[in-house]
């Protein structure tokens, strides 16, 4: 059985124009120890999915309208606030995008790591501190015992993100959600963080959900990916299969619109394939049509009349496009 | 392509005074750009790449005289921009224009789009009102905006459209050199492609010369004819696009290239990730010798003693060393 199973999840957000589904009929499974990636442009519901899994949807604005999130046999959408608090940071934890703003500037990083251990595992102050130092060492911060007494402002961006990873992995969670963990960092630091995440995953056996817009990062980090567009799942499948042969035109656009560094560069430089236009506005999200149709070069009349079903290719690969079979 | 040199930067240094300690004694200086020289040919694109803090944006700002240089020369054609006085400088500004990184903060929210594009012509040109209006129409069309959008304010545009306004504004005075400071890094991936294609089309149509600042090597590879790699205020490697990407020599360039994640399976299989541990040195108290020495995988004693000079396009004592 899957570790995490999301079924027909619908998350609604209240806007001035009414209620809009930011996540619309999303289903997927995550196995223990697996690495899954969410890809898409901003405003496509990637981060909302992550917040829903953590039970952290903005109160009074967003809520789960229907569907279920089953973690280890327990439906998180029905769980009490106290139960969620026990799970968060312990069984499911999250790394946020901005390592600058997600640490508390008034506490040393050692205290912030130890806090998690004291809260969830009932360790004493001394034990928790010792383990925090070990964790800092595990995320390869040199001279960990001394650095544990540093405040966040004394560390570089990459080191802060390592501290965030140490906090997230302190209780050896079953699922680690990384929401654009490297967008604020330089490429060489990004490479270090990716290596670290892969190593930690091997050691702790945590499943990783990586949220990103960078196809290169997906190819390097994940086994399976879900392409999100306007709150809906556009395509789901193994990373290699999808990159070799994307079935949804949006996926194809996402891959080819970025200039990639190839193994041997030639003097040829083709124009990039454009995906014209932008993601539709929130009030259009719920409509019964393919929301990508207005930007799609393969669009047909059918696409603007009816929402496309998910067409399966084998057991593992699905794409929500009327023309997926021909593409 | 014409081979004449448009921009020639010679030994440019930019330094900032920083307060250290309690305010006694001499002020320390941070050399954000240290003795940098490069040339850009007419109609071509030079990219300056590097990580945050490497001095690439400061270099761009200094070329446009938006920050003051401490010494050096910036020759645009035959004019040294750094030596110009007030009025001459104002005139010269029409020849160098800037596209900024963040299209959300670089447009005046109180001006209509057409006024934003017109503004450089008001202050730098001597066109009549009718000519200006005509040029605004022409520019809106050239960057792919509709004529009726001229009346709108910046907040009514999406990020990509705002960047198009920024590009139209940069083109307004028919400049010879356009400096693009990370023009797409604030945009969504699909919109990035639209802007990059537009920049290349405009270059072809109007024969523009770009100085292109970016940290994204994929974008640089797509846009440029030659590349300068900066680290801690110095150019460590400078060469043509094919040389830098197919045969990088400096260990830093090679580490940088190996760090870029790729969708190309063949490239992933053949590149070994070169990890450079640690952080760059303190820019105020730079160590003697090569600035990359403390992170370099092939460092030797001489690297910690003597600073390598840029020779044959690379500033390293041991270029092409086995990593």
A216 touching chain B per CB within 8 A: yes
Domains of chain A plus CATH, in order, are 4-91+174-184+207-319 (3.40.50.300)
In total, the C-beta contacts within 8 angstroms joining chain A to chain B are: 127
State the average pLDDT over residues B30-44: 92
Interface of A with B in 269-298 (CB under 8 A): 269, 271-276, 278-279
Minimal-distance CA residue of chain A relative to B219? A259
Burial of residue A157 (CB within 10 Å: 0-12, 13-18, 19+) is: middle
H/E element holding B117? Answer: helix B113-124
From the CA of B273, how many Å to the nearest CA of chain A? 8
Q: Which residue has the higher pLDDT, A124 or A101?
A: A124
Q: Is the pLDDT of residue B224 over 80?
A: yes
From the CA of A257, how many Å to the nearest CA of chain B? 5
Distances (CA, A) of A248 to A209, A237, A318, A327: 22, 11, 9, 8
Does residue B158 lie in a domain region?
Answer: yes
Minimal-distance CA residue of chain B relative to A253? B190
Q: What is the pLDDT of residue B9?
A: 95
Q: Is the pLDDT of residue B2 over 70?
A: no
Q: What is the pLDDT of residue B197?
A: 93
Chain B residues lying within 8 Å of A253, measured CB to CB: 190
Are A201 and A208 in contact by the 8 Å Cβ rule? The answer is yes
Tokens 């910690």 correspond to B304
A194 touching chain B per CB within 8 A: yes
Q: What is the pLDDT of residue A176?
A: 95
Does residue B111 lie in a domain region?
Answer: yes
Q: Is the pLDDT of residue B32 over 80?
A: yes
Does residue B41 lie in a domain region?
Answer: yes
pTM score over 0.90: no
State the complex-level ipTM.
0.83
From the CA of A88, how many Å to the nearest CA of chain B? 30
Least confident of A3-17, A135-149, B269-283: B269-283
Does residue B48 lie in a domain region?
Answer: yes
Distances (CA, A) of A237 to A9, A227, A256: 19, 9, 18
Q: pLDDT tens across A190-205, in order? A: 888 898 899 989 988 9
Domain count, chain B: 1
Q: Which residue has the higher pLDDT, B276 or A316?
A: A316
Q: What is the pLDDT of residue A100?
A: 77
Kindly report the average pLDDT of chain B as a whole number. 90
Asked if B218 and A259 come within 8 Å (Cβ–Cβ), the reply is yes
From the CA of A253, how many Å to the nearest CA of chain B? 8
What's the CA gap between A85 and B64, in Å, rounded?
54
Q: What is the pLDDT of residue B1?
A: 45
A265 touching chain B per CB within 8 A: yes
Does residue B56 lie in a domain region?
Answer: yes
Q: Is the pLDDT of residue A279 over 80?
A: yes
Q: pLDDT tens across B142-176, in order? A: 999 999 999 999 999 989 999 999 999 999 999 99
What residues are paired with A71 via a beta bridge?
A4, A74
What's the CA gap between A79 and A69, in Å, rounded?
10
Paired sense of beta strands A317-319 and A311-313, if any: antiparallel
Asked if B197 and A274 come within 8 Å (Cβ–Cβ), the reply is yes
State the average pLDDT over residues A163-175: 92
Q: What is the pLDDT of residue B62?
A: 94
Does residue B291 lie in a domain region?
Answer: no
Which structural domain, as residue segments, surrounds residue B15?
Answer: 5-247
Does residue B261 lie in a domain region?
Answer: no
Does residue B224 lie in a domain region?
Answer: yes
Tell me, rounded to whole angstroms, the distance of Cα A236 from its chain centroid. 14
What's the CA gap between B68 and B275, in Å, rounded?
36
Chain A residues lying within 8 Å of B221, measured CB to CB: 259, 261, 265
CATH number at residue B78: 3.40.50.300
What's the CA gap between B134 and B172, in Å, rounded?
11
């Amino acid at each position: 059985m899957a570790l995490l199973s999301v079924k027909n999840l619908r998350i609604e957000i209240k806007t001035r124009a009414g209620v809009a589904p930011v996540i619309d009929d999303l289903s997927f499974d995550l196995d223990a120890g697996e690495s899954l990636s969410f890809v898409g442009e901003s405003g496509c519901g990637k981060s909302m999915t992550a917040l829903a899994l953590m039970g952290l949807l903005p109160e009074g604005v967003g809520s789960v309208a229907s569907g279920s999130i089953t973690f280890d046999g327990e439906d998180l959408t029905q769980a009490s606030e106290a139960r969620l608090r026990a799970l968060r940071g312990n069984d499911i934890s999250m790394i946020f995008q901005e390592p600058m703003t997600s640490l508390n500037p008034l506490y040393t990083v050692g205290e912030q790591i130890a806090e998690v251990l004291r809260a969830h595992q009932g360790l004493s102050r001394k034990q928790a501190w010792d383990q925090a130092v070990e964790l800092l060492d595990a995320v390869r911060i040199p001279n960990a015992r001394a650095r544990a007494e540093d405040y966040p402002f004394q560390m570089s961006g990459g080191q802060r993100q390592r501290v965030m990873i140490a906090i997230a992995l302190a209780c050896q969670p079953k699922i680690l959600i990384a929401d654009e963990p490297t967008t604020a960092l330089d490429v060489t630091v990004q490479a270090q963080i990716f290596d670290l995440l892969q190593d930690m995953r091997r050691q702790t056996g945590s499943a990783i959900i990586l949220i990103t817009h960078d196809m290169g990062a997906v190819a390097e980090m994940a086994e399976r990916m879900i392409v999100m567009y306007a709150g809906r799942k556009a395509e789901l499948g193994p990373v290699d299969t999808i990159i070799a042969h994307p079935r949804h035109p949006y996926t194809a656009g996402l891959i080819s619109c970025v200039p990639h560094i190839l193994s041997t560069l030639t003097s040829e430089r083709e124009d990039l394939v454009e995906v014209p236009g932008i993601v539709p506005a929130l009030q259009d999200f719920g409509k019964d049509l393919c929301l990508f149709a207005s930007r799609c070069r393969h669009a047909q009349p059918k696409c603007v009349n009816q929402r496309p079903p998910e067409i399966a290719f084998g057991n593992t690969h699905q794409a929500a496009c009327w023309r997926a079979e021909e593409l | 392509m014409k081979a004449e040199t448009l921009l020639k930067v010679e030994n440019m240094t930019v330094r900032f005074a920083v307060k250290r300690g309690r305010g006694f004694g001499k002020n320390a200086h941070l050399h954000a750009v240290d003795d940098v020289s490069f040339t850009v040919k007419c109609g071509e694109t030079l990219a300056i790449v590097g990580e945050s803090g490497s001095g690439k944006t400061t270099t761009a700002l200094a070329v446009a005289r938006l920050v003051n240089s401490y010494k050096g020369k910036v020759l645009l054609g035959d004019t040294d921009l750094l030596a110009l006085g007030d009025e001459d400088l104002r005139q010269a500004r029409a020849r160098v224009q800037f596209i900024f990184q963040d299209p959300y903060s670089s447009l005046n929210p109180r001006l209509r789009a057409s006024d934003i594009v017109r503004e450089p012509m008001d202050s730098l040109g001597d066109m009549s009102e009718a000519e200006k209006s005509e040029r605004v129409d022409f520019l809106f069309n050239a960057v792919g905006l509709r004529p009726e959008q001229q009346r709108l304010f910046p907040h009514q545009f999406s990020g990509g459209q705002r960047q198009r306004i920024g590009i139209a504004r940069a083109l307004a005075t028919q400049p010879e050199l356009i400096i693009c400071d990370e023009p797409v890094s604030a945009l969504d991936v699909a919109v990035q492609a639209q802007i990059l294609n537009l920049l290349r089309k405009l270059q072809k149509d109007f024969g523009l010369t770009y100085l292109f600042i970016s940290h994204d090597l994929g974008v640089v590879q797509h846009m440029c004819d030659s590349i300068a790699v900066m680290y801690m205020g110095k150019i460590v490697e400078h060469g043509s696009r094919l040389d830098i990407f197919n045969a990088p020599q400096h260990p830093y360039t090679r580490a940088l290239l190996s760090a870029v994640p790729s969708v190309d399976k063949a490239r992933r299989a053949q590149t070994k990730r070169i990890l450079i541990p640690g952080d760059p040195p303190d820019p105020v108290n730079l160590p003697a010798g090569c600035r990359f020495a403390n992170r370099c995988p092939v460092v030797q004693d001489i690297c910690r003693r003597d600073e390598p000079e840029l020779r044959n396009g690379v500033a390293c004592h041991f270029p092409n060393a086995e990593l």
